[in-house]
């Protein structure tokens, strides 16, 4: 009897909790607005929206490779299964053609669609919640003036019970901080603008911050490094691993151009970011750079000194070329017996020690963040898949070595690079990692380093 009573109390509580839970989380449908797609939007507003959409990089997630812009359908693998991005063209039936501005703002602020369904935070509304009304208005005008496309994304493929969207209410309770950005008055206007862009639409943390078991960003390690589409998004805080410390100038140049002579080229999803930022005015690029540089903070004296040494050697278009004989790091003679040494000398050095100016000559590995990073995935990706050529645009091109080198040879080569060009401890489990990358078990998105165009299809791993 008591047992039954306990159960019924628990059940009641559970039901109340669930009902209360759902009541908190429940969102109504916003009525469809049939004029939305056909309304007139001022060209200035649309142009502003285009710039903002470039910061948000909407096109990258909401476009399937080789398919029409913003029509959705891109598979986004997560630890919880695969999600498919939605069609955000102004198509009335399959896109957002019937969304009012209010519906759009709600989606950006709260992660809820027009009909009241919760959206998965793969759509980074936890960042977009910072976007001001004014900017949302411009974004809305931009999206509503895109080409409508009839396309429905495949159904999401998530582990049970995550198909049940109301569970996201709990996620939001724990991790969504609504409300706009509070400006930091101790910082400059430029810094605040940069913060607004980087943390809001730019959603840099969505890749560059590690995530917890719930898939939410770990705020204790803000900008401490994360991963996206099979690539490591490096730490861009004080634990940055780049041999030459980043500065406002170098970050701004890199964001603007997609490469920097002391850091290399942007690859993978970052190539799309830098490619899209081409639309932004210099002032905004500089603002983002100012903010990110401040998060990185001042480098330690040793890092600073090393950075200066490397800049003297390699700055100014590689005025002083390092060959295998004269070496910045460990004397290559010490490592000449390393199994990777011969591979490096024969396959890599001709480009990577050529002194050819960036971004077209291979980066000298003394400057490579990839070699210094704790997780070697990026350098594995680049060695295996190369950097495919851009479509009719000048862009860094690197051949793929995945078919030339077997797993052991790749591991040997990377072991050599690590030993020679960094002070960090050796990577472990390289052959395993290479094998998983090669087989596709660890999926990697491969993009040309001019970023924007994914035609015809991603290279990726072989099945």
Partner 1 sequence: MTITLNVNGQNHQVDAEPDTPLLYVLRDDLELNAAKYGCGLGQCGACTIMIDGRAALSCVTPLLVAEGREITTVEGLGTIENPGPIQQAFIEKQSAQCGYCIAGMMMSAAALLKHNPKPSDDDIRSALRTNLCRCGTHMRIMAAIKRASELMEQAAVPAATNRSAG
Partner 2 sequence: MDTFNKAEITRRGLLAGTGALVVSFSVANALAQQPAQPPAAPAPAKPPALPGSLNTDRFLDSWIRIDADGKITVFTGKVELGQGIRTPLIQVAAEELNVEPGDIELITADTARTPDEGFTAGSQSMQNSGTAIRNAAAQVRELLIGQAATRWNLPADQLKAEKKTIVAPDGRSIGYGELVAGEFLHVEAQPQSRLKTPDQFSVIGRDLQRVDIPGKVTGGVAYIQDLRLDGMVHARVVRPPSYSATLKTLDASAIEAMPGVISVVRDGNFLAVVAEKEYQAIKAMRALEQAAEWDEPANLPDQAILPAELVAMEGDIGTVAESGAPAFPNGPTFEATFTRPYIMHGSIGPSCGIAIMKPDGTMDVWSHTQGVFPDREAIAQMLGLPEDKVRIIHVEGSGCYGHNGADDAAADAALIAAKVPGRPIRVQWMREQEHMWEPYGPGMVTKIKASVGPDGKIDNWAYDLWSNSHGTRPGDAGSLLAGRTKGNATPLKLPKLSINPNGNGDRNADPLYAIPNRRILWHFLPDMPLRVSALRGLGAQPNVFSIESTMDELAIAAKTDPVEFRLKHLTDNRAADVVKLAAEKFGWGKNEVPRGHGVGFAFARYKNHAAYLAIALELQVEQETGRVRVIRAVSAIDSGQAVNPDGIRNQTEGGILQSISWTLYEAVTFDRTRITSTDWSSYPIMRFASVPDTVEVHIIDRPGTPFLGTGEAAQGPTSAAVANAVRNAIGKRLFDLPLTRSRVKTAIGA
Q: Is 152 helix (H, G, I), strand (E, B) or coil?
A: coil
Per DSSP, helices labelled H in 70-212 are 101-110, 125-128, 133-144, 167-175, 189-199, 204-208
Distance CA 341, CA 349 (A): 10
Judged by CB under 8 A, does residue 154 bind partner 1? no
DSSP labels, 408-425: HHHHHHHHHHHHHH-SSP
Distance CA 461, CA 183 (A): 44
- Pick the piece of the chain touching partner 2 (CB under 8 A) from 154-162, 355-363, 405-413, 418-426: 355-363
- For residue 231, give the DSSP letter: E
CB of 229 to partner 2, least distance (A): 20
Judged by CB under 8 A, does residue 357 bind partner 2? yes
User: What tokens were used for 208?
Assistant: 């560059």
Residue from the set 247, 356, 375, 443 that interacts with partner 2 by CB under 8 A: 356
Judged by CB under 8 A, does residue 386 bind partner 1? yes
Contact 414, 379 (CB under 8 A): yes
- Alpha-carbon torsion angle 217, 221, 227, 232, nearest 10: 170
**Site map (CB under 8 A) of partner 2, residues 272-291, x = contact:** ------x-------------
Distance CA 357, CA 354 (A): 9
Judged by CB under 8 A, does residue 162 bind partner 2? no
Within 439-458, the residues that bind partner 1 by CB under 8 A are 456-457
Per DSSP, helices labelled H in 422-457 are 430-439
Judged by CB under 8 A, does residue 38 bind partner 2? no
Q: Of the candidates 418, 398, 399, 401, which has an alpha carbon nearest to the alpha carbon of residue 339?
A: 418
Q: Is 281 helix (H, G, I), strand (E, B) or coil?
A: coil
Residues 6+ apart with CB under 8 A from 391: 448, 450, 453, 455
Distance CA 119, CA 77 (A): 16
Judged by CB under 8 A, does residue 389 bind partner 2? yes
Taking the least distance from each CB to partner 1, the nearer of 312 and 457 is 457
Within 10 angstroms of residue 338's Cβ, the number of other Cβ atoms is 18
CB of 346 to partner 1, least distance (A): 3
Distance CA 266, CA 358 (A): 12
Within 396-435, the residues that bind partner 2 by CB under 8 A are 396-397
Select from partner 1, partner 2, none the partner in contact with residue 286, using the beta carbon and a kind-dependent cut-off of 5 to 8 Å. Answer: none
Select from partner 1, partner 2, none the partner in contact with residue 323, using the beta carbon and a kind-dependent cut-off of 5 to 8 Å. Answer: partner 2
Within 45-104, the residues that bind partner 2 by CB under 8 A are 46-47, 49-50, 59, 69-70
CB of 245 to partner 2, least distance (A): 28
Within 406-425, the residues that bind partner 1 by CB under 8 A are 406, 409
**Site map (CB under 8 A) of partner 1, residues 64-103, x = contact:** --x-------------------------------------
Cross-strand partners of 457:
none
Cross-strand partners of 352:
none
Select from partner 2, partner 1, none the partner in contact with residue 393, using the beta carbon and a kind-dependent cut-off of 5 to 8 Å. Answer: partner 2
Judged by CB under 8 A, does residue 459 bind partner 1? yes
Within 304-323, the residues that bind partner 1 by CB under 8 A are none
CB of 193 to partner 1, least distance (A): 40
CB of 361 to partner 1, least distance (A): 10
CB of 392 to partner 1, least distance (A): 12
Distance CA 265, CA 146 (A): 31
Distance CA 445, CA 267 (A): 10
Select from partner 1, partner 2, none the partner in contact with residue 453, using the beta carbon and a kind-dependent cut-off of 5 to 8 Å. Answer: partner 2
- Where on the chain is the footprint of partner 2 (CB under 8 A)? 43, 46-47, 49-50, 59, 69-70, 142, 145-147, 278, 321, 323, 350, 356-357, 360, 389-397, 452-453, 455-456
- Where on the chain is the footprint of partner 1 (CB under 8 A)? 66, 342-343, 345-347, 350-351, 386, 388-389, 397-406, 409, 456-457, 459, 462
């Amino acid at each position: 009897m008591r047992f039954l009573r306990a159960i019924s109390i628990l059940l009641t509580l559970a039901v109340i909790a669930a009902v209360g839970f759902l009541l908190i989380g429940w969102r109504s449908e916003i009525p469809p607005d049939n004029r939305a797609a056909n309304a007139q939007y001022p060209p200035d507003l649309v142009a502003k929206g285009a710039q903002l959409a470039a910061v948000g990089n909407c096109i990258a997630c909401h476009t399937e490779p080789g398919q029409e812009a913003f029509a959705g359908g891109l598979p986004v693998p997560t630890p919880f299964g695969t999600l498919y991005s939605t069609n955000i063209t102004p198509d009335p039936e399959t896109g957002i053609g019937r969304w009012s501005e209010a519906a759009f703002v709600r989606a950006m602020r709260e992660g809820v669609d027009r009909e009241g369904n919760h959206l998965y935070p793969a759509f980074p509304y936890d960042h977009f919640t910072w976007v001001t009304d004014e900017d949302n208005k411009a974004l809305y005008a931009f999206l509503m003036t895109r080409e409508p496309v009839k396309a429905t994304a495949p159904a999401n493929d998530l582990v049970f019970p995550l198909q049940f969207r109301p569970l996201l209410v709990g996620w939001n309770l724990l991790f969504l901080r609504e409300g706009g950005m509070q400006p930091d008055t101790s910082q400059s206007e430029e810094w605040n603008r940069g913060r607004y862009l980087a943390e809001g639409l730019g959603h840099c943390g969505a890749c560059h911050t590690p995530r917890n078991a719930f898939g939410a960003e770990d705020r204790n390690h803000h900008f401490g490094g994360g991963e996206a589409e099979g690539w490591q998004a490096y730490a861009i805080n004080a634990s940055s691993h780049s041999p030459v410390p980043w500065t406002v100038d170098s970050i701004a140049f890199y964001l603007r151009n997609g490469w920097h002579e002391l850091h290399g080229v942007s690859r993978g999803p970052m190539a799309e970011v830098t490619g899209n930022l081409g639309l932004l005015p210099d002032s905004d690029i500089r603002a983002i750079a100012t903010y990110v540089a401040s998060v990185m903070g001042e480098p330690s004296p040793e890092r600073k000194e090393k950075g200066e040494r490397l800049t003297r050697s390699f700055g100014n278009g590689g005025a002083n070329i390092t060959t295998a004989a004269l070496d910045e790091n460990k004397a290559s003679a010490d490592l000449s017996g390393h199994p990777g040494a011969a591979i490096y000398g024969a396959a890599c050095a001709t480009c990577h020690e050529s002194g050819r100016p960036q971004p077209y000559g291979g980066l000298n590995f003394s400057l490579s963040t990839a070699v210094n990073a704790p997780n070697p995935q990026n350098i594995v990706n680049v060695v295996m898949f190369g950097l495919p050529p851009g479509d009719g645009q000048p862009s860094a091109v690197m051949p793929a070595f995945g078919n030339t080198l077997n797993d052991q040879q790749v591991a040997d080569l990377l072991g050599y690079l690590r030993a020679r060009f960094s002070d960090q401890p050796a990577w472990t489990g390289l052959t395993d990692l290479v094998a998983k990358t090669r087989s596709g078990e660890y999926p990697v998105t491969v993009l040309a380093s001019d970023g924007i165009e994914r035609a015809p299809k991603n290279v990726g791993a072989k099945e």
